Structure 1
């Protein structure tokens, strides 16, 4: 590895958000904040042995901050203590606090890279608080969709049955979603947060479940920073290319870059929702392209 890792925390009084910081050993460039999706944590972007997108970019000189949303990863307290959180809180409090924290560390705009549902929350937060835009140099989405429109057997199993039925039942039983214990996710999920996501996944308007703020309308008025949306050929449900493109249209981000990751498109693998960030080939593939793009933006 050409970087060092350490942990730090953003104190929001009732809870603390964990950040895994990756510092290049030399030639440090601009900062990058990483936001994970549902039933996962910041480890989707890094490993202690140096694997993952955050590690790759840190080795190229970018200073990485991999966040764990409240109750996930190493953030405190854990969900098992009875801690709960809504989607509204992530959008209106946590993401602005994380962006502000990283910005204050370096006094320069940062890039935000999000996976899956993390990108939905990022777009909502930036649309709601346009003052944050000046602190964001660019944003990158991997497999980000809001509504799952695809109909298939896989969708019926993973979404209609597991996410919409089993997961809420587990939430009522345990007080949180034990996705890791039940082996359908890399981390657990707050019950209230999951309930909020179900409405949007089913196609409810892109408006805040708590206070009704219209994210769709605000998005269309937002002067977005440079954006790049990645979709994967084998992402057949959780970030289907058609749903990724629908999200781009819904949020008025048509001027951003869009890339489909598959062999037919010239890439080394037919990637899926997870492997687009974890496959070893990514280091020689789209990670290289992303690094070049970020370097050009930083110049």
Structure 2
């Protein structure tokens, strides 16, 4: 039976509206899952119009899935332009809490599983550490290729991060007023000047501190305990989510129940996945998506640390 889909629009303030795609099967009382994309992206990383993707997979297994387009991306409005002033601080302190409230207004006061791709995991963990009252509302975390700072050194890092992200993208932001990633085919969606600047700062080997008000996320992680978290890293991901940087992100997030799982042929999987294919490859459905079900069900002992 085909999954049911619904468009939900979440008013954030007088000018901005966030978009949630809701995907569910026959179970009206399915456990809720919130999915958040990374930079230069939108929620379509998790689903397709033909019923493929992790969101549809979870819906077929009884979960009530809500996929977000963060402010200005995807079907959220208004679209990012040179006039957009928001950045990652607003995502952390406003967007994610608003999305959580919207889901709980629909589902009732039940815990929500949080799931993210790439930089979305940084946004999610930061939101929980900045607003620790949310931690009790989140059942678990599942991150795909999420890292904060890029420590690894290789040719890909030199080209993709040092040149494209730190230099070329910065020049574009200064000349256009925002990063037109869609137009230049650098990504699926655009970034504001502020969001690019802030994520660029964090991607460097620097403290996990907010550039707006100096909030120290790393210090908060030493006090707060995040929900149980499953961190996926891909073998063929040289810099955007290198396994060593995923491990560093896990480690700096404080003491919490966690597993780091490497998706590679030598660890028993069908593919050496990359930063995108760990979510989109056809083999993911039978390879590692079942581990997500184990984690969401709280069967943490069924998921090995294989790093």
- TM-score band by shorter chain is over 0.9
The answer as to 2:4 corresponding to 1:11 is: no
Equivalent position of 2:120 in the other structure: 118
Question: What whole-Å deviation, never above 9, does each CA across 1:161-184 have from its counterpart, x for those lacking one?
Answer: 110111111112222111111111
Q: Distance in 2 between matches of 1:265 and 1:186?
A: 30
Q: Distance in 2 between matches of 1:256 and 1:2?
A: 33
Structure 2 residue ranges without an equivalent (≥5): 300-307
* Structure 1 residue 45: Cα displacement: 0.5
Regions of 4+ moved over 6 Å: none
Equivalent position of 1:136 in the other structure: 138
Q: Distance in 1 between matches of 2:72 and 2:252?
A: 30
Q: Distance in 1 between matches of 2:255 and 2:242?
A: 17
Describe how 1:1-299 pairs up with structure 2 within 5 A: 2-13=2-13, 14-26=15-27, 28-80=29-81, 82-107=83-108, 108-253=110-255, 255-296=257-298
Q: Distance in 1 between matches of 2:234 and 2:114?
A: 20
Q: Distance in 1 between matches of 2:21 and 2:149?
A: 30
Question: What whole-Å deviation, never above 9, does each CA across 1:22-63 have from its counterpart, x for those lacking one?
Answer: 021247420000010000000011111111111110111111
Q: Distance in 2 between matches of 1:59 and 1:29?
A: 10
The total of aligned residue pairs comes to 298
* Structure 1 residue 186: Cα displacement: 1.2
Q: CA RMSD for the aligned pairs? A: 1.5
* Structure 1 residue 223: Cα displacement: 2.1
* Structure 1 residue 296: Cα displacement: 4.3
* Structure 1 residue 189: Cα displacement: 0.8
Q: For 1:147, what is the secondary structure of its paired residue?
A: coil
* Structure 1 residue 93: Cα displacement: 0.7
Q: Distance in 2 between matches of 1:97 and 1:146?
A: 23
Q: Distance in 1 between matches of 2:266 and 2:259?
A: 18
Q: Distance in 1 between matches of 2:24 and 2:177?
A: 37
Contact 2:209–2:217 under 8 Å retained in 1? yes
